[in-house]
Structure 1
Amino acid sequence: MPELAGPAAAWPVVESEHRYDGGWVVKLREDQLQRPGHSEDEPFSRLVLEHPGASVVLAVDDQDRALCLWQYRHPVERSLLQLPAGLCDVDGEEPLGVAQRELVEEGGFEAAEWTHLVSSYSSPGISQEVGHYFLARGLTEVGRGDFEPEHEEAEMQVRWVPVQELADAVLAGGPVDGHLATAVLVVTGRGLAGSARARD
């Protein structure tokens, strides 16, 4: 298989300054870089979105329907069909734990079976975010506990959509949510879309 990621090897940073830190977990930093071995060159600027990563859940029921969320996203000024997901912003919490928590909080379900699908950089040209994708099976409705949705989440709607229909819609050309596209295409590409195949 081809190499898809090299070892961690940061280029020299001459200067670094936070451009935005609003007290939230995500911050914007500007670094002045130099190419390794070229200290005589002028440094050049790169913006870095400091991000703790996120877990994304493709929760599929016994009818091969995915639990989806219809939610408004202000940066793109439209509602999108998305999957339960959340930031890895609690110290010591593993991505799987984040996925399990978010499935309860956003969808009201627990899952008996968890499969890690893939971890990928969402937008490495500007962001540190790594998305950790999980397939959840054996769903049991448990409610949201004491989680109280607010802001955009207060308008969020749960929708059940067949996984194959999601795959077809993604391949139709978009625009679609990137996390949803990644999870659905990995699952269908690996032949995990059918409930029988998922348990083999």
Structure 2
Amino acid sequence: MSVEDTANTANTANTANTEDAGNVDAVKVEDVEESWNVVATTRHFAGRVISVRTDTVEMPGGVVADRDYVVHPGSVAVVALDDEDRVLLIRQYRHPMRRLMWELPAGIRDVAGEPLVECAARELAEEAAYRARTWHTLVDLATSPGMSDERIRIFLARDVEPIPDEENTYVREHEETDMPAVWIPLVTAVEKALSGMIHNSPAVAGILAAYAASADGFKGLRPAGAPEA
């Protein structure tokens, strides 16, 4: 088969796929709230941050099935970009993965009633000693919806500046004791994510989302205080 024949075959396949896609226009591609009836719940473990439970859920047709999952308070992460289109990454030891992993400044939603953007600003200050004047909601993630209810909101922070040492009173401990921070070009971070050199899921999602959002100068992003669906 010639290159031209191959191209024609590919074009025919693409046309067919487009036509098939047109048949689902009536389906709204958007996650929506839904809660199936839970007939029983068993809590197996409760730790400092997470707990593990089994819900017996009523399925369509009246049958029931057990679903095990981790209950998590949720978290936030920050893609901080400077005036040179560099992204701020920190490196932290993650024991479950047995790796030193490059990540975004991030943290748990552990202050009751705290607005998410304030939580993100606090984590940026504590983990990286930076602050930002311009904030937007970048992307929302369900970390692993088949096994955890954790939600992560990733913010885009711009107009960043370092926090002077005399204002930085946060004391790091445990994994955060030795946590280097680097600024790398956003396009380089994209390359590292796509080549398998960065594995942390909020980091990969945030880096790729920031790169995509930069196409229109971030004009399409939601405000920092956008409601969480």
Q: TM-score, normalised by structure 2?
A: 0.78
Aligned equivalents of 1:45 and 1:177: distance in 2? 29
Aligned equivalents of 1:37 and 1:131: distance in 2? 33
Q: Please give the per-residue CA displacement for 1:81-128, whole angstroms capped at 9, x wherever unaligned.
A: 001001112111111111100000001011011111111211100111
Deviates more, 1:138-147 or 1:181-190: 138-147
> Which structure: larger Rg?
2
Aligned equivalents of 2:96 and 2:195: distance in 1? 23
1:29 and 2:50 equivalent? no
Equivalent residue number for residue 38 of structure 2: 13
Aligned residues: 192
**Conservation of the 8 A alpha-carbon contact between 2:198 and 2:204:** no
Q: Alignment partner of 1:52: what SS?
A: coil
Q: Alignment partner of 2:177: what SS?
A: helix
For residue 18 of structure 1, what is the amino acid of its counterpart? R
**Poorly superposed stretches of 4+, deviation over 2 Å:** 143-146, 197-200
Q: Please give the per-residue CA displacement for 1:146-177, whole angstroms capped at 9, x wherever unaligned.
A: 21111111121111111110001111245611
In structure 1, which of residues 156, 160, 163 is the aligned counterpart of residue 183 of structure 2? 160
1:183 and 2:202 equivalent? no
Equivalent residue number for residue 52 of structure 1: 73
Please list every run of 5 or more consecutive structure 1 residues that lacks an aligned counterpart in the other structure. none
Equivalent residue number for residue 4 of structure 1: 30
Superposed counterparts of 1:130-141, under 5 Å? 130-141=151-162
**Conservation of the 8 A alpha-carbon contact between 1:11 and 1:36:** no
Q: Alignment partner of 1:100: what SS?
A: helix
Aligned equivalents of 1:98 and 1:70: distance in 2? 20
**Conservation of the 8 A alpha-carbon contact between 2:102 and 2:198:** no
Aligned equivalents of 1:156 and 1:175: distance in 2? 16
> Alpha carbons of 1:47 and 1:160: their partners in 2 closer, same or farther (altered >3 Å)?
same
Aligned equivalents of 1:126 and 1:177: distance in 2? 17
**Conservation of the 8 A alpha-carbon contact between 1:81 and 1:177:** yes
In structure 2, which of residues 193, 200, 210 is the aligned counterpart of residue 170 of structure 1? 193
Please list every run of 5 or more consecutive structure 2 residues that lacks an aligned counterpart in the other structure. 1-24, 221-229
Q: Please give the per-residue CA displacement for 1:31-87, whole angstroms capped at 9, x wherever unaligned.
A: 11221450xx3x322112111211110111112211111111001101110010011
Shift of the alpha carbon at 1:25?
2.8
> What CA RMSD, in Å, does the superposition of the two structures yield over aligned residues?
2.1
> Alpha carbons of 1:85 and 1:192: their partners in 2 closer, same or farther (altered >3 Å)?
farther
For residue 98 of structure 2, what is the amino acid of its counterpart? E
Equivalent residue number for residue 116 of structure 1: 137
Q: TM-score, normalised by structure 1?
A: 0.88
